[in-house]
A and B are shown apart, each in its own frame.
Chain A
């Protein structure tokens, strides 16, 4: 019995220590961000990688998500003779929930895993130590630009996701299933409020922070082996995805 309690205690201590280290990691990265030299070029490079290069997969996911939403929504709404509300159903689902969550999950899978692998390999091959020996802080040079790019890039991707998803819904609802075009767009206009947009933006900013923070952290503290790198990448993707969903619930409960 004592042994079980001891193990539980040791597990809790390790977790609390890990959380503390994660918090210090992101706070240090922000502290280094506001110190010169400012590395705009690095931020733009990361924005290109996290944002621009994720556009294709985000557009593809958004299109099909909007299409399947319209398909499901149409047959559900038709039972009540409310097909005209299809536009608002698609748009609200997209803007409030699916846009931020799915776009962030896509960014995690595409860019987040690559961030962990890149930083992890740099750790294993002593490139991070090399930065340190050159008196260049790795948090400032490597991590801070990625976090900034995540916080800026994800909201833009979410905006694209929302728009493409709504058009995807229109393609199926209006062009294929015959919902009136006017009804589709009018229902969106009357149902979507500023509060919904604002909530979506807030979520996407926080998801951008979660993805870049968790993925950089896991890469930065990779154990020195190929197995360690594989594990770090898996942990980064799983932890980011879980945190996105958990944080989504909390934010939604506050915003509603």
Chain B
């Protein structure tokens, strides 16, 4: 569904992406890992047209989006939702209004239909009864949950997750991961996640891709990825001496 071919990008004169070839499997959860500043978020932003490549192509279905703009790009974006690192909630709107925002502004839905759908999503992410709160009153985990509810409410085909557990303690991070996996399994959307959470991501991802020096150095199914013999990748994923246990993988 999403394919990147030879994507190159320089930021501030520095090469960030140096020929990315990547194909995201449909209906699966794919996680992109890599060191800090390796360009994971930049890569994610190329998939939804928030950034344009200097060279290369980005395909979403049968549309090449790297040179699209305006309404044609918006038509493609209707298939997407994105959960940002800081959740990117609108400060001036309550939790309810944040989740209702795309329904009201994009689908022009009103009244009971909006309420029903928003309440349903808030309940799914464990925020039932929190609709009246404002983003400033929420904890980090609740902000992420609100962001996830806003992403889910339009029932998109693809959801991009930009480091969804950054800034959360391990328990909260696990609960967000669990939520993402549960939702992905339930609704079957294609999920692309950028994450630092090793080894946890091996237990929840279907596919894992590693970005290093501006290129995808390995993409494989999660279990297979861990069996890599490449010393650099092995060192990266066993950082802190922890490699995901087979039991965890099975779980």
Which A residues form the contact surface with B (CB < 8 A)? 37, 121-122, 125-127, 129-130, 132-137, 141
CB pair A129 B50 closer than 8 Å: yes
Stretch at the interface among B80-88, B123-131, B222-230, B233-241: B80-88
Chain B 128-161 interface residues, beta-carbon cutoff 8 Å to A: 154, 160
A28 CB to closest chain B CB, in angstroms? 9
Chain B 92-135 interface residues, beta-carbon cutoff 8 Å to A: 101-102, 105-106, 108
B162 nearest CB neighbor, chain A only: A126
B236 CB to closest chain A CB, in angstroms? 27
7 closest Cβ contacts across the A-B interface?
Answer: A130-B88, A135-B74, A126-B88, A135-B77, A133-B82, A126-B84, A134-B102
B79 nearest CB neighbor, chain A only: A135
Chain B 33-54 interface residues, beta-carbon cutoff 8 Å to A: 45, 48-50
> How far, in whole Å, are A129 and B78 apart by their CA atoms in the complex?
14
CB pair B50 A133 closer than 8 Å: yes
CB pair A134 B90 closer than 8 Å: no
> How far, in whole Å, are A130 and B80 apart by their CA atoms in the complex?
11
Of A37, A122, A127, A130, chain B has the most CB atoms within 10 Å of the CB of A130
Measured between beta carbons, the chain A residues less than 8 angstroms from B86 are 125-126
Measured between beta carbons, the chain B residues less than 8 angstroms from A122 are 90
Report 12 cross-chain contacts, Cβ distance below 8 Å, ordered by A residue.
A127-B88, A129-B45, A129-B88, A132-B49, A132-B77, A133-B50, A133-B81, A134-B105, A134-B106, A134-B154, A136-B106, A137-B70
A83 CB to closest chain B CB, in angstroms? 53
A134 CB to closest chain B CB, in angstroms? 5
CB pair B105 A133 closer than 8 Å: no
A129 with B105, Cβ < 8 A, contacts A135-B74, A135-B77, A135-B78 known: no
Measured between beta carbons, the chain A residues less than 8 angstroms from B49 are 132
Measured between beta carbons, the chain A residues less than 8 angstroms from B102 are 134, 136
Measured between beta carbons, the chain A residues less than 8 angstroms from B78 are 135
Contact of A136 among B82, B84, B88, B105 (CB under 8 A): B105
Measured between beta carbons, the chain A residues less than 8 angstroms from B160 are 133
A136 nearest CB neighbor, chain B only: B105
Q: A129-B88, A136-B105 are in contact. List 18 more A-B contacts (CB 8 A).
A: A37-B105, A122-B90, A125-B86, A125-B88, A125-B91, A126-B85, A127-B89, A127-B90, A132-B49, A132-B50, A133-B48, A133-B50, A133-B80, A133-B81, A134-B77, A134-B101, A135-B75, A137-B74
> How far, in whole Å, are A110 and B67 apart by their CA atoms in the complex?
39
Measured between beta carbons, the chain A residues less than 8 angstroms from B91 are 121, 125, 127
Measured between beta carbons, the chain A residues less than 8 angstroms from B45 are 129
B51 nearest CB neighbor, chain A only: A129
CB pair A141 B80 closer than 8 Å: no
A47 CB to closest chain B CB, in angstroms? 17
> How far, in whole Å, are A125 and B108 apart by their CA atoms in the complex?
26
Contact of A37 among B80, B81, B108 (CB under 8 A): B108
> How far, in whole Å, are A129 and B80 apart by their CA atoms in the complex?
13
> How far, in whole Å, are A141 and B101 apart by their CA atoms in the complex?
12
A133 nearest CB neighbor, chain B only: B82
Measured between beta carbons, the chain A residues less than 8 angstroms from B74 are 135, 137
Of A37, A121, A122, A126, chain B has the most CB atoms within 10 Å of the CB of A126
Measured between beta carbons, the chain B residues less than 8 angstroms from A121 are 91
Measured between beta carbons, the chain B residues less than 8 angstroms from A129 are 45, 50, 82, 84, 88
CB pair A130 B105 closer than 8 Å: no
CB pair B84 A135 closer than 8 Å: no
CB pair B106 A130 closer than 8 Å: no
Measured between beta carbons, the chain A residues less than 8 angstroms from B80 are 133
CB pair A133 B77 closer than 8 Å: yes
